Structure 1
């Protein structure tokens, strides 16, 4: 009985990801960007914990994999899309332009579908992971809301850029670590040190720069060590 209950824990945590993601969507459409971003971050915590729980309890399932992707489409696709839509509605081009924001959930879904069938992405990623994309948008809109309202074309250009990054073949490293070896996980440690520096200097405005740092560092590593990229 206990074993049967334990195997459902990862799916329960994934369901929490979906639940708080729905709240983020609602708040995003309402223009409550601070709280919408908070719930996106909370969804990211649950997204990490469900995988951790599945590995710890050895409770893997086909349903869990599908549920995880469906939850991520909402929490990390539709939620940031709702935030961007709300911002674009407040611009002088509010009749047509806001619908460009829905490219974020569309390309997030494409990214997740691609990830699910791509056997190369076991220890690293090809393209920007959807949680990182969502954190960028949540942080960018929270920090640069006023700028985006007066410069909507910059926001639209960023939407196109990040949609391209989601489905790109650019290798990006994973933060998953199975130990504390500096030699083995030097990439992750250097990235974390950069994140700490950004958090200390920018505090709650650091999230979008942290994702920009992640993208830049991933591309830099690929340029220096192209052989480390996942291959078929």
Structure 2
């Protein structure tokens, strides 16, 4: 019985992603964000449960990636698509009506990133490239914090489009990024993780879920700096 517990939690992650996608297409972005966060919580606990119960399996690993493609790939892509389409498909002509479809590059590159992760033996205690949950949380919170009318701030539309390409690059990049995985709870071995968690918690208390708009870029910058100093 216990061998089914991690996979059940993973399926809850997948279902959360499906619900998030549904609300994203309906334009209910805050609800979509909520279910992406719920999916991220399930994503954390499925691996935790598998290790705790010692029931890790190849099918669990594959199922986890499939669930992540939905929750952290397709759902954020749907949020970006819905946001762009509300502007470009409302009064645009010619080729501009196809601009929103660029959002689905996020889903494609998320799938590619997860496929690489399953085969890359270097990513046991860290990541190579931006993790899909981090990318999804950034996009979901960014969309939620956008002004109601993008036509009043047209530069944000271009920022969205440029951001799509940047995030796709980061997902499959060779940039090492630290993971919040602990071999022990000693301060010396986890100083960076503890400081990052503490600062993130402070930002969440102050800004709520919108804090992830700041936390994810901060995570990338800290990872780059940490990698540079660790090589010296």
TM-score tier (shorter): over 0.9
Looking at structure 1, the residues matched to 49 and 5 of structure 2 have their Cα atoms a distance apart, in angstroms, of 7
Q: 1:108 to 1:208 in 2, by over 3 A?
A: same
TM-score by length of 1: 0.92
Moved more, 92-101 or 108-117: 92-101
- Asked if structure 2 preserves the Cα contact closer than 8 Å seen for 1:148 and 1:155, the reply is no
TM-score by length of 2: 0.92
Q: Secondary structure in 1 aligned to 2:87?
A: coil
Match of 2:23 in 1: 27
Q: How far apart are residue 104 of structure 1 and its match?
A: 0.4
Is 2:145 the counterpart of 1:133?
Answer: no
RMSD over aligned Cα atoms:
1.4
Moved more, 22-31 or 149-158: 149-158
- Asked if structure 2 preserves the Cα contact closer than 8 Å seen for 1:148 and 1:154, the reply is no
Q: What pairs up with 1:3-152 in 2 under 5 angstroms?
A: 5-92=1-88, 93=92, 95-146=97-148, 150=154, 151-152=156-157
Structure 1 residue runs of 5 or longer lacking an equivalent are 228-232
Looking at structure 2, the residues matched to 187 and 202 of structure 1 have their Cα atoms a distance apart, in angstroms, of 22
Which structure features the higher share of helix residues? 2
Q: 1:197 to 1:22 in 2, by over 3 A?
A: same
1:157-179 Cα offsets, whole Å, 9 max, x none, are 01100110000000000001133
Is 2:212 the counterpart of 1:207?
Answer: yes
Looking at structure 2, the residues matched to 163 and 59 of structure 1 have their Cα atoms a distance apart, in angstroms, of 33
Q: Secondary structure in 2 aligned to 1:172?
A: strand
Q: Secondary structure in 1 aligned to 2:97?
A: coil
Is 2:231 the counterpart of 1:217?
Answer: no
Moved more, 98-107 or 204-213: 204-213
Moved more, 120-129 or 86-95: 86-95
Q: How far apart are residue 194 of structure 1 and its match?
A: 1.7
Structure 2 residue runs of 5 or longer lacking an equivalent are none
Task: Give the aligned length.
Answer: 223
- Asked if structure 2 preserves the Cα contact closer than 8 Å seen for 1:28 and 1:79, the reply is yes
- Asked if structure 2 preserves the Cα contact closer than 8 Å seen for 1:28 and 1:83, the reply is yes
Moved more, 69-78 or 91-100: 91-100
Match of 1:182 in 2: 187
Q: How far apart are residue 148 of structure 1 and its match?
A: 5.2
Q: Secondary structure in 1 aligned to 2:187?
A: coil
